[in-house]
Amino acid sequence: MYLNNIIIYLENKEEHKMHIKWVLKRLSAKNIPIVIKKCKFHTKKTDFVRFIIELKQISMDLKKIEAIIK
């Protein structure tokens, strides 16, 4: 099984940490491998399915749609 993108967003840091632990425990319990070096924690900006997600803003990743624009 291959699971690629999981985004966990909460404004409260303590709740956020609890949710991350909960998700990681569930994945581990189902023997879904987790590659920690590919994980990003506590970021303020991330690329997700052709979008750039930042605090209070979502925008298109222009690199992904460059061929369509030209």
List pLDDT tens digits, range 11-70. Answer: 888 999 999 999 999 999 999 888 888 888 888 888 887 888 888 888 988 877 777 776
Q: Is the separation of the CB atoms in 24 and 34 below 8 Å?
A: yes
pTM of the model: 0.67
- 34 and 4, same domain (yes or no): yes
Residue whose token pair is 């209070």? 56
- What is the residue range of 54's domain? 43-70
| pLDDT band for position 2 (cuts 50, 70, 90) | low
- 5 and 28, same domain (yes or no): yes
Tokens standing for 2? 């291959």
Residue in 31, 57, 63 with CA at minimum distance from that of residue 44: 57
What pLDDT score was predicted for residue 14?
93
- 33 and 64, same domain (yes or no): no
